[in-house]
Amino acid sequence: MPTSRVHTQQKETLTHVAIIGCGKGGQALMEMFAGDTQVRIVGIAETNPDATGLPLAKKLKIPVRKHYRTLIKSRDIDLVIDVSGNPEVETSLLTIDRPGMAVIGGPNAKYMWQLIDARMRAQQETERQLNKYQRLARLYVKEAASAVSEDRTRIACEIHDGLIQTLVGLNYKLDLCQTLATQDSEQCLEILTQIKTQLKSSIEEARYVIFNLRPLFSGQLDIIPAVQNYLKSFETQTHIKIVFRTNGHERALDSKTKIFLFRIIQESLANVQKHAKATRVDVTVDIQQDRLRATISDDGIGFDAETALTTRFSWDSFGLRAIIERARLIGGDATIESTPKNGTRITLESPINRPRSKTSPRSSAPIFSLAADAPPTRRKRNG
């Protein structure tokens, strides 16, 4: 096919549009048509030199005329859209009778650009929210990678400084026993007793490391024992006193709420460990008939919560934002109250969607003793 014929067919498929008015309506039309390969804006008519859409017209290299009559004289125009809001222009356009050229004006044009503007705004808001969650996701991945690295380092140190050192000592004592077996049987038995004691201690060390490696909670498990177990582990590792209170029955909670509640408590305590310099943390879970309320408060150094939460996405405030986002994902709200030297209080409140199956009546439970269901604790090594 000859090149000139191809160009002629492409020209015929384009819709040539003239826009009268370069205010908000004209700007909305330009934004919509700018990405349309089937539409070409041949020109815009505007008498106001300060019209809001003129910078965009200049950016898109669209010719601007002061008089609309000059603009519509062109024979290449297929559609004229009047968004000027000028009654005289509207009346004048009604008298035009040119074959192949359509005119949209008055209320119809206004309604059209309002729909376009609303669509553009909705798209921009969608993109803004998407960008926000993409940034949050990137921070979450970065935080997760850092957490994994920190855990690996901590566990490696625990194994090297604890378990391996003990095993090296045991190996040395076994060599000594081998030498004393034929020379001093009494001393050999004494050392074997020490070795047995240290082996028990090493087994406890290994159990402790394994406990820290395993996942502590699944949505299919009971939340209260899982939280209690986690808090005991946290108390053992950090030497921060934990007081855990609970009220109500966890059967009222669905698995998603249980998981997010656990993660919020976990994230809150991670922040306490990293930043708070606290000596005590109070954790309360109150499960009412139609509402869940949980609080995590510490006696640490505190911080300026308002500044931390209003600052654009940052590494230091990521954990706090993660708590708020998790609360929203179960239809609830999380509030973070803190000022320097006055500790921190995190409160989660969320409605409870009652399951269809029958549940037992709500019951109250006393303050839990963290000694129950505790992980293996370190024993003082001998020798």
Residue ranges per domain, the chain? 14-104, 141-211, 217-351
305 in Cβ contact with 339 (< 8 Å): yes
pLDDT of residue 55: 92
What's the CA gap between 206 and 159, in Å, rounded? 8
Distances (CA, A) of 101 to 44, 51, 80, 199, 281: 16, 26, 7, 95, 75
Say yes or no to pLDDT of 371 above 60.
Answer: no
Confidence of residue 368 (pLDDT cuts 50, 70, 90): very low
Torsion of CA 257, 258, 263, 269, to 10 degrees: 120
17 in Cβ contact with 77 (< 8 Å): yes
In the CATH scheme, what is the code of domain 217-351?
Answer: 3.30.565.10
262 in Cβ contact with 217 (< 8 Å): yes
92 vs 153, residue with greater confidence: 92
The DSSP letter of residue 368 is P
- What's the token pair of residue 290? 């139609």
What is the rounded average pLDDT of the residues 247-274? 86
pLDDT of residue 350: 94
- What's the token pair of residue 369? 């003793």
Confidence of residue 8 (pLDDT cuts 50, 70, 90): very low
What is the rounded average pLDDT of the residues 215-220? 52
Most confident region among 151-155, 159-163, 267-271, 341-345 by mean pLDDT:
341-345
289 in Cβ contact with 297 (< 8 Å): no
Say yes or no to pLDDT of 225 above 70.
Answer: yes
Radius of gyration of the chain (CA): 36
pLDDT of residue 344: 94
Q: For all residues of the chain together, what is the average pLDDT?
A: 77
Lowest pLDDT segment from 92-101, 213-222, 247-256: 213-222
Helices (H), 214-317: 223-238, 255-271, 305-310
What's the CA gap between 179 and 25, in Å, rounded? 97
Supply the pTM of this predicted model. 0.42
Cα distance from N-terminal residue to C-terminal residue, the chain: 94
Say yes or no to pLDDT of 11 above 60.
Answer: no
183 vs 299, residue with greater confidence: 299
Question: Which residues does residue 280 pair with via DSSP β-bridges, in sequence order?
Answer: 241
Q: Are strands 241-247 and 102-104 parallel, antiparallel or unpaired?
A: unpaired
Say yes or no to pLDDT of 310 above 70.
Answer: yes
Say yes or no to pLDDT of 287 above 80.
Answer: yes
Say yes or no to pLDDT of 374 above 70.
Answer: no
Count, residues in the chain: 383
- For the stretch 27-70, pLDDT in tens is 888 888 887 788 889 899 998 999 989 999 999 999 998 888 88
Residues whose CB is less than 8 angstroms from the CB of residue 285 and which lie 6 or more positions away in sequence, other chains included: 223, 224, 227, 244, 245, 246, 247, 248, 261, 292, 293, 294
Q: CA torsion sign, 31 to 34 to 39 to 43?
A: positive
Quick check: helix, strand or coil at residue 165? Answer: helix
In the CATH scheme, what is the code of domain 14-104?
Answer: 3.40.50.720
pLDDT of residue 270: 82
- For the stretch 104-151, pLDDT in tens is 877 766 666 666 667 667 777 777 777 777 776 666 666 556 555 655
pLDDT of residue 348: 96
